[in-house]
Amino acid sequence: MIGRFLAVALVWIIVDMLVYSMIPLVFRRPGLKKWLRSLHFLLIGIFFLFTLTLLVVVGNPGEDYVKYRSHFLWLDIFLLIYLPKMTICLLCVPVITGRIIRNKHNKELPENRSYKIFRRSWLIIAALMAAVMFLISLDGMVNGISRFRVTRTDLYFADLPPAFDGFTVAQLSDIHLGSWIHKEKVLKGLQLAQDQHPDLIVITGDLINVHGDELKGYGKMFSDLGAPMGKFAILGNHDMGDFMRVQRGNNLGIHIPALKIFFKEQGIRLLRNEHVFIKKGNDSIVLAGVDNWSVKHFVRYGRLDKALGGINGNPFTILLSHDPSHWQAEILKKSHADLTLSGHTHGGQMGIECGNFKWSPLQYRSHYWSGLYEEGKRYLYVNQGFGFIGFSGRIGIPPEITLFTLHRVPK
C-alpha cells in the first residue's frame, strides 16, 4: 500500500512540475503566465486539501460500503485532473527534450522564429488533446460504467457430449453491487444478459465490495434472471472479506452467510469447492466451482481436489474460479477442466479496444487479464467485469457479459 502511494505521489509531483514548466512556452504575456502559474498552484493546493479532508472525515472505511465507495471519489478526481496532464506531458516530450538540449549547448543563440511558432502550435495541440482526454474520462465515469457489451465466443471441443452441441453459457463477473449508486444501471446489464436467452448462467465472484448490506434492493433483479439449466455462482475475494490486508483478520468470511441466503432466495446455486452434473437428454457435463484462490495478495480458499473429487472418468468439465492466476498455477496441472471461467481483473477498467487489438496497463502486471487463452485444447476465459471498483468509471474497456456457445467437433 505504501509503495503504491509513493508511486502515485511521484507521478503527481513530476507531472505537475512538467506542466508548470510548459506554461511560459505556450503563453507569451508575462501577466498571463504569472496568473496561470498561480492558478496551477491553487488547484494543486485545493486537491491536496481535499485529499486530507477525505482521509480525516471518512478515514478507514472498514465494512461501511458507502464510506468505501466515497474513497473512489479521490481516484476519480485524480484521474480527471492528471490523465489530461499526463497527455500533455507525453505529447510534449520532443519539445521538452529540444529545450533541454538547447539550454545545454546553444543557450546564447536566438531561437529560430519558425521553430517558436511550431513549438507553440504543438503545445496548443497537446492542450486540446488533454481536453479530449478529460471528456473521455468524464464520459467513462458517467456513461462508460453502463455501456455493457455482450461478447459472443464460440468454443469447439472433441469431448463435448452430443446433447450439448450448441449449448450456451452466460457469464457475469465482478458485479460489485456496493459500487453502484443507480440500481437501474445494474438492471440494464442484467436484462441484457437475460435477453441472450442462455441455457446456463454463471456468476464468477465479487458480487459485493465489503458488506452484505449491499445486497438490499437487488433481490428481484437476480430472481428474474432465468436459464433453463440453472443459475450458479462462486465467491470472489471481496465476497470472502479478503479485500484490505490490514483488516483481513476481522473480515474473513463474516458476510458469507448473507450471500448464501441471498443466492438461495434468488434461486442461484452457490458452488463452494464442489461440483454438480448438468444433464441434458442422456448426456451430462460437470460444472464445478471453487472459492477464491490467488497466486498473490489474497488467501487461498479454493480446494480443487474437493471440487472435483468423486468424479468418475474424465467428463467434460467447466470450472468456475474467480482469479485467473489459479489456471496456470494449479488448474492446468491438477485437473482436467476443459473450460475455466474467471474474472477479477476488470480488464484494468481503462485501456484501448479496436477490433482485435486490445491494450491496458494491467497487462504488464497480469498475464491473464482479459479474453480467451488456450493451452493444449484447454481454455481460460477472463471476463473483464460487469461492475467497477476503485475508479468509478471505465475508459475504453467496457463492462462485459460473455455468451459462450459450445460446439462438438469430431475426434
Which pLDDT score is estimated for 17? Answer: 82
Residue 55 has pLDDT above 60, yes or no: yes
Task: Return the minimum-mean-pLDDT range out of 70-79, 134-143, 362-371.
Answer: 70-79
Residue percentage of the chain with pLDDT more than 70: 90
DSSP summary character for residue 327: I
Residue 111 has pLDDT above 80, yes or no: no
Q: Over the stretch 62-75, which tens digit does the pLDDT of each residue have?
A: 788 898 998 899 88
Cα 74 to chain center, whole Å?
17
> Which three-class secondary structure state does DSSP give residue 154?
strand
Which pLDDT score is estimated for 202? Answer: 98
Mode of pairing for the β-strands spanning 400-408 and 274-280: unpaired
319 closest CA partner among 362, 237, 378, 239: 378
Predicted structure pTM score: 0.90
How wide is the angle at C-alpha 208 spanned by C-alphas 203 and 209, nearest 5°? 135
Q: What is the mean pLDDT of residues 372-397?
A: 96
Q: Which H/E stretch holds residue 88?
A: helix 72-91
> Which three-class secondary structure state does DSSP give residue 346?
helix
CATH architecture for the domain at 151-408: 4-Layer Sandwich (3.60)
How wide is the angle at C-alpha 307 spanned by C-alphas 302 and 310, nearest 5°? 150
Phi, psi of 206 (to 5 degrees): 60, 60
Q: What is the DSSP string of 288-321?
A: EE-----SSSS-----HHHHTTT--S---EEEE-
Rounded distance between C-alpha atoms, residue 184 and residue 221, angstroms: 10
Residue 273 has pLDDT above 60, yes or no: yes
Q: What is the mean pLDDT of residues 131-140?
A: 95
Residue 190 has pLDDT above 90, yes or no: yes
Q: What is the mean pLDDT of residues 383-395?
A: 96
Task: Return the minimum-mean-pLDDT range out of 51-60, 174-183, 242-251, 255-264.
Answer: 242-251
> Which three-class secondary structure state does DSSP give residue 149?
strand
Structural domain boundaries in the chain? 2-142, 151-408
Residue 1 has pLDDT above 70, yes or no: no
**DSSP E strand stretches across 173-227:** 200-204
In the block, residue with C-alpha cell 432466495: 265
> Which three-class secondary structure state does DSSP give residue 236?
coil
Contact indicator for 365, 406 with CB cutoff of 8 Å: no
Rounded distance between C-alpha atoms, residue 54 and residue 58, angstroms: 5
DSSP summary character for residue 337: -
Q: What is the mean pLDDT of residues 364-380?
A: 95
| Residues 6+ away with beta carbon under 8 Å from 187 | 221
Q: Which H/E stretch holds residue 188?
A: helix 183-194
Task: Return the minimum-mean-pLDDT range out of 67-71, 138-142, 244-248, 251-255.
Answer: 244-248
Residue 247 has pLDDT above 60, yes or no: no
In the block, residue with C-alpha cell 495478495: 297
Q: Dihedral of CA 53/57/63/66: which sign? A: negative
Residue 114 has pLDDT above 80, yes or no: no
Contact indicator for 272, 289 with CB cutoff of 8 Å: yes
β-sheet bridge partners, residue 200: 169
Query: Looking at this protein, which amino acid is placed at residue 380?
Result: L
More confident residue, 22 or 284: 284
Q: What is the mean pLDDT of residues 39-58?
A: 84
Query: Looking at this protein, which amino acid is placed at residue 25?
Result: L
Query: Looking at this protein, which amino acid is placed at residue 24?
Result: P
Task: Return the minimum-mean-pLDDT range out of 106-115, 216-225, 254-263.
Answer: 106-115
Q: What is the mean pLDDT of residues 330-348?
A: 97
Contact indicator for 387, 185 with CB cutoff of 8 Å: no
Contact indicator for 362, 317 with CB cutoff of 8 Å: no
Q: Over the stretch 284-338, which tens digit does the pLDDT of each residue have?
A: 999 999 999 999 888 899 999 999 999 988 899 999 999 999 999 999 999 999 9
Rounded distance between C-alpha atoms, residue 255 and residue 249, angstroms: 13
Q: Over the stretch 204-232, which tens digit does the pLDDT of each residue have?
A: 999 999 999 999 999 999 999 999 999 99
